[in-house]
Amino acid sequence: MREITPKRIREMKGREKITMVTAYDYPSALLVDKAGIDIVFVGDSLGMVVYGEPNTLNVSMEQMVFHTRAVAKAVKRALVLADMPFGSYEISVEEGVKNAMRLIQAGADAVKIEGGADHEELVRKLVRMGIPVMGHTGLTPQRYLRLGGYRIMGETEEEIEEILRDAKALEKAGAFAVVLEFTLADVAKLITEEVSIPTIGIGSGPWVDGQVLVWHDLLGIYENSPPFAKRYANLGEAILKALQSYNSEVKAGEFPGREHYWEFLDKKDFREKAQKALGRLGEK
């Protein structure tokens, strides 16, 4: 059992801000855990930042299982959360249960589902079975086609009502937290006050119980980051410089240098061995 549990996350509301960052592979998950981040999150955003898709609609259960397994191997302390991808939980509660179990068996401590009111039954069933669930409302990227792109949510009375209904449904069904993505900050504040479970915001302002960012946005290794993401480093630039140095050093014959290879000290010894090896090959 890892140190950060859904119960701990729940208890952080009103006491300490919750931090969450995505990771999709072993080395990045090691670093997120080591940094003291509370939740290491295998998001379906991997479809975009790892696989180059224009949205998150083509992410499969297989991809989520493989990436979750790699991340889970690295994490000792943080809570490991895995996204349920598009198509893995909408058709029936049974399919949702089966797929959530696959993510748990791959090493996740909890799963995240987009939507709230529409999936109350699934959330309740998973929680009863012992699978902790995080909800997700506001901008739900899996509704990309209906929304006609990614945009801020909660401008109209109807949208505010929908977000409130989702958050309250999730609380009632037993979810341990809810992501509020790209809502007006006032709406996120209202939700945070209206529900007893922690709200984790992304692009929804400061009046929430925690924040989540995508690894590639935070580190500056993705060109199409959303406008609300903050770049804490410019690793894209650093990586490009390193690759250009390698390229020019190989072309110039400067790499590998003397410290990066091993040679026979006794050249005569080598010539004799090579002679014998060549001769033996010739006999065949």
Catalytic residues: 181
Cβ neighbours of residue 155 closer than 8 Å, sequence gap 6 or more? 184
Q: Least Å distance between CB 9 and Mg ion?
A: 18
Q: Least Å distance between CB 119 and ligand KIV?
A: 15
Residue 216 found at the interface with ligand MHF (CB under 6 A): yes
Residue 253 found at the interface with ligand MHF (CB under 6 A): no
Closest CA to 132 of 82, 94, 90, 203: 82
Choose among Mg ion, ligand MHF, ligand KIV, none what residue 6 binds, the Cβ cut-off being 5 to 8 Å by kind. Answer: none
Question: Binding Mg ion by CB under 5 A: which of 44, 109, 166, 181?
Answer: 44
Residue 85 found at the interface with ligand KIV (CB under 6 A): no
Closest CA to 126 of 174, 92, 84: 174
Residue 226 found at the interface with ligand MHF (CB under 6 A): yes
Choose between 48 and 197: whose C-beta lies nearer to Mg ion.
Answer: 48
Q: How many residues in the shown chain lie near Mg ion by CB under 5 A?
A: 3
Choose between 59 and 184: whose C-beta lies nearer to ligand KIV.
Answer: 59
Provide the strand spans (E) within the chain: 18-22, 39-42, 79-83, 110-112, 133-138, 177-181, 199-202, 210-213
Cα–Cα distances in angstroms (integers) from residue 221 to residues 40, 88, 217, 230, in the given order = 18, 29, 6, 12
Residue 214 found at the interface with ligand KIV (CB under 6 A): yes
